[in-house]
Amino acid sequence: MINKDWRLKSIIFYSVLIFFNRLAFADEILGQQQVFNKTDQLYVSQQVATEVLAINVEILSLKNLSEHDRVSAQVKLLKFQELDLTLNQAEQYILHLIRANIANIEGQEHKVVNWLNKAIKLEAFIAKKQLDEPLFASAYLTLASIYQRQGEAKKAFDSKEQYIRKYFAHLEQQKSLRVKRLSAKYDIEKRHEENELLSQNSKIKQYALAHAESERQQQHRNIAIFIAAAIVLFLLLLRQFKIRKALTLLAKTDSLTQLPNRRAFFDNGYIFMEHALRENKELSILMLDIDHFKNINDQFGHDIGDEVICNIAALAGETMRSRDFLARIGGEEFAAILPDANIAQARAIAERIREKIQDKSYQGQQDNIHITVSIGLASIKVVRESFDSLLHAADMAMYQAKANGRNQVCSYCTERKEKTD
């Protein structure tokens, strides 16, 4: 009787104990379910995403924590839920993985499978390239491990296959990304090199242009210097020429009357003589001497004498033809070359000169001064030996005019006839 009571009491005790254990387990499960359900209410996503979604760093930190510390992860998860944030599908996916990690640590495989399947259902709203990342693909690896322990080989194989596919897809993405980065880097470096080359070419062109401009300016300077030097040289030569011409003219010009002097007369006389002989043309020489000029200087002074010489030079010059050559060859002696004039034409010119001078009077200190001249002529038809001979013949004719009484014209041919007679 005692053994039956003790056995009955033992059965009742163990039954009550089992009941409370199951109740406690149910409460724990219910509490966790309430926590998870409350978190699910925070995840609202109405958009289908085809691009990479941003993930809160707190969620990533919580994911890492959930892999080894269940209690801390649960506490942080509750605090995160209290923030009442709106999460995108990628963040909801990670929170499901966090719950699965917590359940996996507790050994509740059916909850792990449940949370992971919920996460997988969100893949339609997440970009494929983001799902292929190890963070998301790890869900399939965890499922494969659980299915393998549960003996569901096909599900384990399918999950493992999914993981491997995502793994290699991720590797391909990384490879493509590295290729793009390398290509972008290469493009940047290539553009940099091209820019450097263009910059160098631009500098070379600028240098070439600057050098060409410098050369052009130097050429212009050289040309300007050359032109300036040429102008200076030309001016110097012109000045030298003018000086020489002036000196030559001065050497061949009588300073008092500005008529050609004896030197100029002889230089031109030889030319006229040669031309007349070569062309068989007429040529006459006129010699003029002022009568009693010494008395004029002695009586009236040299100033009056100089005035007389200048006036006679002017009168003779304006009476002669434009082609005749008049010169002062001595103190009171003048000579003229008369081209294309025979002895008769020469005498007519000489008579006009004599008459003009005879009719001209000069005012002296007390009385008027009357001037006369004696003129001798010689023709190339009579004297052909040389210009000196022709001039000498005219000189002899002039002295014959003085000997005949002055103030008259005598020609060399007349004089010779008279001597012959």
18 has pLDDT over 50: no
For residue 415, what pLDDT is reported? 44
Work out whether strand 373-379 and strand 409-411 pair parallel, antiparallel, or are unpaired.
parallel
Identify the domain boundary among 131, 152, 182.
131
Residue with tokens 């944030």: 85
C-alpha–C-alpha distance, residues 326 and 324, integer Å? 6
Q: How confident is the model at residue 31 (pLDDT cuts 50, 70, 90)?
A: very low
- Report which of residues 49 and 237 the model is more confident about: 237
Each residue's pLDDT tens digit, 282-335: 999 999 999 999 998 988 889 989 999 999 999 999 999 999 999 999 999 999
Q: In angstroms, how far is CA 100 from the centroid of its own chain?
A: 76
Each residue's pLDDT tens digit, 172-201: 877 887 888 888 888 888 888 888 888 888
365 has pLDDT over 80: no
* Average pLDDT of span 139-157: 88
* Secondary structure, 3-state, the chain: CHHHHHHHHHHHHHHHHHHHHHHHHHHHHHHHHHHHHHHHCCCCCCCCCCCCCCCCHHHHHHHHHHCCCHHHHHHHHHHHHHCCCCCCHHHHHHHHHHHHHHHHHHCCHHHHHHHHHHHHHHHHHCCHHHHCCHHHHHHHHHHHHHHHHCCCHHHHHHHHHHHHHHHHHHHHHHHHHHHHHHHHHHHHHHHHHHHHHHHHHHHHHHHHHHHHHHHHHHHHHHHHHHHHHHHHHHHHHHHHHHHHHHHHHHHCECCCCCCECHHHHHHHHHHHHHHHHHHCCCEEEEEEEECCHHHHHHHHCHHHHHHHHHHHHHHHHHHCCCCCEEEECCCCEEEEEEECCCHHHHHHHHHHHHHHHHHCEEECCCCEEECCEEEEEEECCCCCCCHHHHHHHHHHHHHHHHHCCCCCEEEHHHHHHHHHC
For residue 286, what pLDDT is reported? 97
Each residue's pLDDT tens digit, 69-127: 878 887 888 877 777 678 888 888 888 888 888 888 888 888 889 998 988 888 888 88
For residue 169, what pLDDT is reported? 80
Q: Which of 43, 204, 11 is nearest to 122 (CA)?
A: 43
C-beta of residue 137 within 8 angstroms of C-beta of residue 163? yes
Q: Is 328 within the bounds of a domain?
A: yes
Q: Is 44 within the bounds of a domain?
A: yes
C-beta of residue 274 within 8 angstroms of C-beta of residue 281? no
For residue 29, what pLDDT is reported? 42
> Percent of the chain beyond pLDDT 90?
33
* Average pLDDT of span 257-272: 95
C-alpha–C-alpha distance, residues 362 and 381, integer Å? 38
Work out whether strand 333-339 and strand 283-290 pair parallel, antiparallel, or are unpaired.
antiparallel
Q: Is 334 within the bounds of a domain?
A: yes
418 has pLDDT over 90: no
Q: Which of 348, 358, 334, 360 is nearest to 406 (CA)?
A: 358
Q: Is 61 within the bounds of a domain?
A: yes
Q: Is 214 within the bounds of a domain?
A: no
Q: How many domains does the chain have?
A: 2
Q: In angstroms, how far is CA 59 from the centroid of its own chain?
A: 65
Q: Is 225 within the bounds of a domain?
A: no
For residue 84, what pLDDT is reported? 67
C-beta of residue 172 within 8 angstroms of C-beta of residue 160? no
**Mean pLDDT for the chain overall:** 82
Identify the domain boundary among 131, 162, 193.
131
Residue with tokens 């997440």: 126
Q: Is 236 within the bounds of a domain?
A: no
C-alpha–C-alpha distance, residues 61 and 94, integer Å? 11
Question: Two tokens at 160?
Answer: 């493992």
For residue 49, what pLDDT is reported? 52
Q: Which of 312, 324, 254 is nearest to 285 (CA)?
A: 324
Q: How confident is the model at residue 21 (pLDDT cuts 50, 70, 90)?
A: very low
Q: Are residues 122 and 266 in the same domain?
A: no
Supply the pTM of this predicted model.
Answer: 0.47
Q: In angstroms, how far is CA 278 from the centroid of its own chain?
A: 69
For residue 207, what pLDDT is reported? 84
For residue 345, what pLDDT is reported? 96
Q: How confident is the model at residue 43 (pLDDT cuts 50, 70, 90)?
A: very low
Q: Is 208 within the bounds of a domain?
A: no
Question: Which domain covers residue 364, as residue numbers?
Answer: 262-420
* Average pLDDT of span 372-385: 94
Identify the domain boundary among 99, 131, 163.
131
Residue 210: C-alpha distances to residues 197, 203, 217, 395 (Å): 19, 10, 10, 81
> Where residue 365 sits, what CATH number does that domain have?
3.30.70.270
